Amino acid sequence: MSTKSRNISIPDYLEELQIEYFLNELRSKIYPKKKDRDYYKRVYNHKRLKIEDISSKNKIPSIFTDSSLNREYRSRVYLDHGPPSLLNSYELVYYYRIEEHVKVLLEDSIRVGVMRSINFDSNIAGVQIKGASDVIYLPIKRVTRIF
C-alpha cells in the first residue's frame, strides 16, 4: 500500500493557489452552462479562503493584500493579448465563443469587436470591428476576450 505525499513548500503552494484562483475565476466567466460557472465560482472562493488562511498564518502578502502581487499573478492568466496560456483546448472554444466581445491588436491600435468565426486548426479568428461591416481575419494571439 502506498500513500501519496506532497513535498511542496508553503510559498510554492501559495503561489500555485494564487494562479489557480485566477484560472478558476476565468473559467467561471467562460463556461456556457450556469452549473459549470457556479462550480468554478465555488472553487475559486474556496481557494481564496485557503490563500487568506495561509497568508494570515504566515504573515506573508497575497493577491488579496498586495496590489502588485495581484497584478503579477493576474497577468499570468489574463494575458494582454491573445488567449490565456493555461486554458486547455476545449476551454479555448468557450473563451472564443462566437458573438463574444473581444479586443483586437491591430498594427497601430487596439480596437473592439465581436467574434464572428474561429478556426483552431489555423489559429485564425474572424472579428467584426465595431462600426465596420466586414469581418477581418487575424491570428488568435492578437484577439483577447473582453469581460
| Mean pLDDT, rounded, for 19-42 | 97
CB contact at 8 A, 145 and 102: yes
pLDDT tens digits for range 108-121: 899 999 999 999 99
Average pLDDT over residues 139-145: 96
To the question of pTM greater than 0.85 for the whole model, the response is yes
